[in-house]
Structure 1
Amino acid sequence: MSIFAKIVGTGGYLPPRVVSNDELAAELAQRGIETSDQWIVERTGIRQRHLAAEGVKTSTLATQAAQQALEDAGVSAQDLDLIIVATSTPDYVFPSTACLVQAQLGNVGAAAFDVQAVCSGFVYALSTADAMVRAGRAKKALVIGAEVFSSILDWSDRATCVLFGDGAGAVVLSAESEPGILAAQLNADGSQMGILCAKGNVSHGQVVGDPFLRMDGQAVFKLAVTSLAASAHQVCEQAGVQLSDIDWMVPHQANVRILNFLSRKLGVASEKVVITLDQHANTSAASVPLALNVARRDGRIKAGDLTLLQGVGGGFTWGSILVRS
């Protein structure tokens, strides 16, 4: 009998501090940087973001989201045999953030590791977990996207610091006899690494290189739209479905202009696109699972619906997953 991976629970967590565009603009003005709510909304669609308090780590956000997903699935942490965390802001060099989450959940024995594909991280991690479930190597898997991106932002760079927020989203996968994840398609082009990167690292106790996120916004926009459109067609072809069959599209929440342009390019009605960008900003690897959780909990995504999940980010990485609820 064939084994398939199905999403049986979702969860999300956002730090309690909500920072509106007006509040952020006032804080940046004290640093001599001019911006405004109108400037940010017109260019990005973002109206607010959640920011973690100083000292709060990615594993803390991830664990909160995981606990909600486990409760939603009716699964005990002890039942998990696989934990994957997608993050670009790990607590430590090592151990992995997944191992830290495992300890906080009270699980012992599950395989646990991190995936680093920046804003595509959750799609990469979900595809990895799907493959392990299908291979019979896991029966219950926890997949988390979590970030404290505020820790790597240059708050003197208006082009990037207004874009990002902190948060975590999680899903629980279960081995089932009926398909849940129908198809997955992943890509990368390392030659484009310079358009979105954070090149710093720690060596011999010192920070080497630029530790802050840097981005060429126009280049990212063009590559994101082109790559995600192609990926959507490829994953639908792999699954044997049409784009018109898709009930919901849950793309990485980077910029509302990208989302609008992509939906038009694919011929997907705007009302089928789940957007949380205005409330969460860009939470990198957390953006897709956070948006998925919101749409499941508010009743938009229902049992039997076909949902396209898409991620795109530094690396340059991108990918798509088709999910049947």
Structure 2
Amino acid sequence: MTVAAPSDTEHGATGRGVVGLSRVSVRLPKGSERVDRILERAGSSLLERRMFAKFHGLRDSPTLAPGEPMEELLVGAARDALGERGADVILYGHTQSVQDFACGPGFAQRLRSSLDLPDVRFYGVSQINCVSVLRALEMARRYHSRPAAQPGERVLVLGGDHGSVADAARIVPRVTVAGDAAVAVVVHSSDENDFPRYRYLSGGALRDGRFHRSLRMTTKELTLFSQSCVGHLATALREATDGAGIGFSDIDWIMPDLSSALFWRNFCRETGVQQERICLDLLPERGHNNGVDALSALQHADMTGRLRPGDRIALVALGPGAYFQVVIVEVTPESS
């Protein structure tokens, strides 16, 4: 088992201003499928399908309509997040190593051209499953802490997968069903014209190499992985809260991985975290969308008026591998 080193900045300060996140934008496809229908098509038994509905809380899964390109969702989210301004770097976090829309040459060039950023550096973040987007946030934050960092620099973090490209790729046995969605957010340092909506406080990460077989794990390995997840996530969360100088009880909201309601019930029972603090509102209608979940929940909570200035929020992602990532942010008084 390996644990990431503590974050190299304190409470989002770099000496060049506060670092944080602004303008979270989520794009959903035009279509949606019932999870029960997806499982039935894949040959799941009636009992298993009922388990997914009753215990995991999954009902619908966002699905690209016929002829609707995933790339269009990514571009739309990116444009909305950037607004009238540009970016210095683009980081694209994705769970699937190979994306249908990117198999041919030119995806990065097309995206940059669509955003009128033809010369901006573009990097993919993958091979770490569903923590890829939150890991990209951490990488963006570290970009702002480098010696040559300048006030007002902006990193566009983009995430999303064509989860419905094949049922075999979209179903995690006994755990969840993945859909299609895209997210974009700007990670930036403050300047006289721009202050982050969510100030970065700290982060935590963990990987347990015993489960490196990922979705190829045996039934025994998968059972042990499921039993280990709560403890591992609690460890990553503790690292993040320690780094921020706070405790579990100081976290106002957890924006979760939306793979299973059962997992979060177990998490609350074993850690003492109150279930009301975990934002699972979107679980039935959106379900799991790989690395998009936590930011999607954050946007929904903010748009519906749930968040208040000073609220401390843990963004959480976990996935086969076994990878765990936590990013803690604080809501600032001003929206950007």
Is the TM value for this pair above 0.5?
yes
Q: Cα gap change, 1:86/1:242 in structure 2, threshold over 3 Å: closer, same or farther?
A: same
Amino acid aligned to 1:231? A
- 1:192 positional shift: 1.4
Residues 163-213 of structure 1 deviation map (CA, whole Å, 9 limit, x = unaligned): 111111221122127881111122323441214359xxxxxxxxxxxxxxx
Amino acid aligned to 1:76? E
Distance 1:156 1:318 in 2: 20
Question: Is the aligned partner of 1:193 residue 2:212?
Answer: yes
Distance 1:228 1:94 in 2: 37
**SS at 1:196 equivalent:** helix
Question: Is the aligned partner of 1:61 residue 2:68?
Answer: no
Amino acid aligned to 2:213? G
**SS at 1:310 equivalent:** strand
**SS at 1:154 equivalent:** helix
- 1:285 positional shift: 1.2
Distance 1:96 1:115 in 2: 17
- 1:35 positional shift: 3.2
- Flag as ranges the 4+ runs of structure 1 deviating above 6 A: 155-158
Question: Is the aligned partner of 1:121 residue 2:132?
Answer: yes
Amino acid aligned to 1:15? P
Question: Is the aligned partner of 1:87 residue 2:94?
Answer: yes
1:4 alignment counterpart: 18
1:170 alignment counterpart: 184
Amino acid aligned to 2:124? D
1:183 alignment counterpart: 202
Q: More displaced, 125-134 or 254-263?
A: 254-263
Question: Is the aligned partner of 1:227 residue 2:246?
Answer: no
2:84 alignment counterpart: 76
Distance 1:169 1:250 in 2: 14
Q: More displaced, 252-261 or 296-305?
A: 296-305
**SS at 1:257 equivalent:** helix
- Structure 2 unaligned spans of 5+: 1-14, 332-336
2:248 to 243, 248, 251: 243
- 1:160 positional shift: 6.4
Q: Cα gap change, 1:96/1:187 in structure 2, threshold over 3 Å: closer, same or farther?
A: farther
Distance 1:159 1:96 in 2: 34
Contact 1:97–1:114 under 8 Å retained in 2:
no
1:309 to 279, 297, 315: 315
1:132 to 135, 138, 143: 143
2:60 to 45, 48, 68: 48
Distance 2:133 2:307 in 1: 19
Amino acid aligned to 2:236? S
Question: Is the aligned partner of 1:256 residue 2:266?
Answer: no
Distance 2:293 2:153 in 1: 25
Distance 1:61 1:215 in 2: 38
Contact 2:31–2:63 under 8 Å retained in 1:
yes
Contact 1:169–1:293 under 8 Å retained in 2:
no
- 1:253 positional shift: 1.4
Question: Is the aligned partner of 1:322 residue 2:332?
Answer: no
Aligned length: 302
- 1:158 positional shift: 8.5
- Structure 1 unaligned spans of 5+: 199-213
What is the aligned-residue RMSD (CA, Å)? 3.0
- 1:269 positional shift: 1.5
Distance 2:124 2:52 in 1: 32
- 1:302 positional shift: 3.0
Give me the identity figure in percent.
Answer: 22
Residues 213-259 of structure 1 deviation map (CA, whole Å, 9 limit, x = unaligned): x9965344223212111111111011101111111101211211112
Distance 1:17 1:182 in 2: 37
Distance 1:156 1:59 in 2: 18
